[in-house]
Chain A
């Protein structure tokens, strides 16, 4: 049986609408809000206003690409959290209206689970991991290690107690005077620098918890002192600084991921979220495929950023279980992985 699902993602910057047929993508349309680059970040109200403007054109485009009519859809899926409340509400209301008008099931999807299940999208150039696997989700707002036992059963092993890994990149960049978002710039410059040039203290965290707040402070102090002695220090050492900061953040991530793989005995390792585009992180995983016999799963770039396809694929699994919701469902800015 072929099941066509419309997936709506509006939790943050991007409005994205996808249509899937079982685990294959028929369309995945993202209206990127370039306006945010001018504002130096995610601006909540701008985000929700832009979602309102983007959502109908995105739907039209997705239907056209998929060569389907609204009547061909079997269910409407949407992100109900976590995210920015104003943005989530746009997608939630739109999904409810469509489901009501078309009289087809409504499926709510947890954004964090969807990031992980993006690995299950069927495409020619993506290998789907077998269950169980471990997933490291790293983005501007999240840093988590999850045991993915099935599409339905996931266990959070640990997460950040303060800043997210992506935030660590962006704030370290800010301290060095780089523009927002600094992550991709640091990645580029890191390729030209010596990752061992500078050492920054790593946090000692229990179990699978992460902390990046102390690293930010340690970079700040180091640079304040260095700039006092040589005002040109940052400019003269930018590549080495970027390489060393990137190496430190990745080391912190890898230490915990290695511990999780060892403790659970799982060697299928997936990464998800925007930071999985980082070339240093990808390299670190490749090394561990060699040294630790891991099988690593790195999603295609278009599935690492927020996208409607991951919402639709997650909803496909819920559809199979008839896990639908009614119109009383509400968006929630904070939402645990288990919900």
Chain B
């Protein structure tokens, strides 16, 4: 996957971008980085919708991980490590098992568990310009 980037200036445009992004992504680990309030959860919500998830995709900050099912029956896990202070906690909830299964794994705040993540992953970075327009950049990382 070559590096690609998209712009979105409102939630509707995020959905349009998500349709394009999901065609480029492969099932597996997808990390989302960006400051609080830039729309990581909103983008994952749109990606899940693009995969055909019918349930409400809400923030997993409280629950740590939410599980959904896509249109083709694929499993989708939405993690939020925001509350984690100690990386070991992620291991203890079964991070290794989740990583081994090859399902869709969308992760917010991966910085919190950076030492535990595999060396290969897909990275989505969110930034905003002065007008609040979001830049959504996508690349594959092989460390």
Contact = CB atoms under 8 A, between A and B. Distances in A.
Interface in A72-90: 82-86
B37 A217 contact: yes
A160 B58 contact: yes
Contacts of B62: 42, 140-141, 164, 166-167
Contact of B41 (A43, A166, A213): A213
A162 B86 contact: no
Nearest to B45: A162
Contacts of B39: 213, 217
A41 interface: yes
B13 interface: no
A256 to B, nearest CB: 15
A108 interface: no
Interface stretch (B19-27, B63-71, B135-143): B63-71
Contacts of B63: 82-84, 141, 333-334
A163 interface: yes
B89 A43 contact: yes
Contact of A162 (B35, B41, B93): B41
A334 B41 CA distance: 18
Contacts of B59: 162-164, 167, 213
Contacts of A167: 59, 61-62
B42 A162 contact: yes
B114 interface: no
A221 B84 CA distance: 25
B14 to A, nearest CB: 12
Contacts of B42: 162, 213
Nearest to B60: A141
A39 B81 CA distance: 13
Contacts of A41: 82-85
Given A161-B58, A167-B59, A43 B85 contact: yes
Contacts, number: 86
B115 interface: no
Interface residues on B, range: 20 to 34
A84 B56 contact: no
Contacts of A140: 62
Nearest to A219: B37
A44 B132 contact: no
B92 interface: yes
B2 interface: no
Contact of B92 (A45, A174, A175): A45
Interface in A15-45: 39-45
A173 to B, nearest CB: 12
Interface in A81-130: 82-86
B38 interface: yes
22 contacts: A39-B85, A42-B83, A43-B89, A44-B89, A83-B63, A84-B64, A141-B63, A160-B58, A161-B56, A161-B57, A162-B42, A162-B45, A162-B59, A166-B62, A167-B59, A167-B61, A171-B36, A213-B59, A216-B37, A220-B36, A333-B63, A334-B63
6 tightest A-B CB contacts, nearest first: A45-B92, A41-B83, A141-B62, A220-B37, A217-B37, A44-B93
Interface of B: 35-39, 41-42, 45, 56-59, 61-67, 82-86, 88-89, 92-93, 132
Given A216-B36, A217-B39, A333-B67, 5 more contacts: A45-B93, A84-B64, A141-B63, A167-B59, A333-B66
